[in-house]
Amino acid sequence: MGIYLNPGNDGFWEAVRSEIYVDKTGLIAQTNKYINTLQKYICVSRPRRFGKSITLEMLAAYYCCDCDSADLFRGRRIESDASFQEHLNKYDVIYLNMQQFLIRSKKQDVTDYLERVVLDDIREEYGQWFSEQETSLAAALERINVKTKKKFIFLVDEWDCVMRERQESEALQKQYLDFLRDLLKDQSYVALAYMTGILPVKKYGQHSALNMFTEYSMTDQKTLEEYTGFTEEEVKSLCERFDMDFAETSSWYDGYLFTKFRHIYNPKSVVEAMLFHKFSSYWTSTETYDALKVYMDMDFDGLRSDIVQMLGGAHIRINTLSFQNDMRNFRTKDDVLTLLIHLGYLAYDSEAKETFIPNKEIIEEFENAMSVGGWSEVMRVLKASEKLLEDTLLCDGESVAEALDRAHTEVSSILTYNDENSLACSIGLAYYSARKDYRLIREFPTGKGFADVVFLPLPHTGRPALVVELKYDRSVSSAIQQIRDRHYTQALEGYTGEILLVGITYSRENQNKPHSCVIEKMEVTVHGSGMR
């Protein structure tokens, strides 16, 4: 057992002994299918603290031939798979944490340092098969394979750290990519190569050194969706175990969605919330908000408007295909937004090709980034939103309309009204503070159409539900009438208590007082509902 060759199973042993361990060993059945096939090159990119390193420790424990890991996997999902015994502890594993190599190499060339220390480790086991003077890791492994027929499984953590932390050095990046290509591509000694990072590998200018890899990214996780974070069922189980409210957990940490699994949760934050029995911004606290602000402040036409709309609850159409998969070559606002998807600050709906802010934790991070300058008009709207909610709950339609007039004036240079959809974005922004006690749903399905905005109160808040209908250049009475006629409130299945019907209109002709608002109360009981 060595440092880089067959590093053992201690990492996975610690994971399964932790107070919270969510069984993701089903992933092993997927990787087993690809061993010694043309699909043996796998690159999985996810945001930081989304379980990438734990996954590699699990794979190392399973494949490493110097381990006896049967007990660690007893009772886990993979144990019932037909391939479990076939591959358990049967391979030499080479585990490379690129972040460590980058840090330890200091002023040395990172790939030269890597080859030297890894060769020293491999020499203890296989030194008889290559010369003392050999300095190429790939050449040494070729010799070992020819003489012994041994194949290796490569596990590469933080594969993209050179791209992220040496952004200014394109020469170093190209050299590093050439090293990985020489080490892995078309090599008979590779049984499986599983790399993880934050960025996908497909494009770096015209250099496609790693085009043999199949990418599983935040824009398309393919068959690995359920291993990207915690699933809804896994979080429900944790909430029951730790007596935490599932609806509030969803509000804080849900929002990452894929084709099959439409509810993926941030694993780092869910674990911390369960252990500390408190909802807070755990994932975002591991990195300064300046990392987000740099990209928010980039000067691309329409970027600020898109961010403001997403703060208001909107989903923004995006083209993710032009992104160059690095952190400095941006051509359009879509490139910036695509990077924020890979970093975890935005979620992506691949079916609708739309991006959005996933949850309360991330919304707070956007607010923190805006609070330090450059977004003063938006911050004034956010700070006024508490009073707006209070006026709404008091059914003071006149005060609500006046507050919306002021909010519109503040953001009119960024967000312009063109239709009811843009009006809904502005309303969502104006009611920003409501998200502490509510879950905001745009285009809420009712069976007879869609309510423009619904605010569903989180459990134990004691707040009424809000059903908001918006009209553009129409009368405010028509908005309330539509809520009644289409029975929007009946869609709130299982909800009992007070509902406020909120009709809001915007008039282009009356610019002195463009907004109007009418608020009515409805009481919903188990046996029916009535207006009062």
pLDDT 10s digits, 114-129: 999 999 999 999 999 9
AA letter at 459:
P
In the predicted model, is pLDDT for residue 353 greater than 90? yes
CATH of the domain at 101: 3.40.50
Average pLDDT over residues 194-209: 76
In the predicted model, is pLDDT for residue 205 greater than 70? no
State which of 217, 243, 278 marks the end of a domain.
217
Let me know the angle formed at the C-alpha of 528 by 527 and 532, rounded to the nearest 5 degrees. Answer: 130
Confirm whether 3 is domain-assigned.
no
- Based on the fold, state whether residues 127 and 248 are members of the same structural domain: no
What's the confidence (pLDDT) of residue 449? 57
pLDDT 10s digits, 61-114: 999 999 999 999 999 999 999 999 999 999 999 999 999 999 999 877 899 999
- Based on the fold, state whether residues 190 and 278 are members of the same structural domain: no
Confirm whether 222 is domain-assigned.
no
- Based on the fold, state whether residues 184 and 268 are members of the same structural domain: no
Give residue 458's pLDDT band: very low, low, confident or very high (50, 70, 90). confident
pLDDT 10s digits, 219-270: 999 999 999 999 999 999 999 999 999 999 999 999 999 999 999 999 999 9
DSSP strand pairing (497-506 vs 465-472):
parallel
Confirm whether 131 is domain-assigned.
yes
State which of 158, 182, 217 marks the end of a domain.
217
Confirm whether 369 is domain-assigned.
yes
- Based on the fold, state whether residues 99 and 158 are members of the same structural domain: yes
Q: What is the 3-state secondary structure (H, E, C) of 396-452?
A: CHHHHHHHHHHHHHHHCCCCCCCCHHHHHHHHHHHCHHHHHCEEEEEEEECCCCEEE
**Cα separation, 173 vs 337, whole angstroms:** 23
What's the confidence (pLDDT) of residue 431? 94
Lowest mean pLDDT among 80-89, 260-269, 313-322, 476-485: 476-485
Region for residue 63 given its phi and psi (left: phi exceeds 0; alpha: psi -120 to 50; beta: otherwise): alpha
- Based on the fold, state whether residues 312 and 380 are members of the same structural domain: no
Confirm whether 155 is domain-assigned.
yes
**Cα separation, 337 vs 36, whole angstroms:** 37
Average pLDDT over residues 495-508: 89
* Domain limits for position 390: 376-531
- Based on the fold, state whether residues 422 and 465 are members of the same structural domain: yes
Whose CA is closest to 479, among 503, 455, 454, 449? Answer: 503
DSSP strand pairing (214-216 vs 41-45):
parallel
In the predicted model, is pLDDT for residue 22 greater than 60? yes
Lowest mean pLDDT among 7-16, 417-426, 458-467, 520-529: 520-529
Confirm whether 314 is domain-assigned.
yes
Question: Greatest CA separation found in the chain?
Answer: 90
**Cα separation, 318 vs 422, whole angstroms:** 17
Give residue 18's pLDDT band: very low, low, confident or very high (50, 70, 90). very high
- Based on the fold, state whether residues 193 and 305 are members of the same structural domain: no
End-to-end CA distance of the chain, in Å?
75
Confirm whether 223 is domain-assigned.
no
Confirm whether 28 is domain-assigned.
yes
- Based on the fold, state whether residues 385 and 320 are members of the same structural domain: no
Buried b / exposed e along 70-92 (16+ C-beta atoms within 10 A) = eebbeebebeebeebeebbbebb
CATH of the domain at 428: 3.40.1350
- Based on the fold, state whether residues 94 and 240 are members of the same structural domain: no
- 281 compared with 449, residue with greater pLDDT: 281
Average pLDDT over residues 18-34: 98
Q: Tally the domains of the chain.
A: 3
- Based on the fold, state whether residues 457 and 446 are members of the same structural domain: yes
- Based on the fold, state whether residues 318 and 201 are members of the same structural domain: no
- Based on the fold, state whether residues 324 and 389 are members of the same structural domain: no
What's the confidence (pLDDT) of residue 287? 67
In the predicted model, is pLDDT for residue 203 greater than 60? no
State which of 356, 374, 392 marks the end of a domain.
374
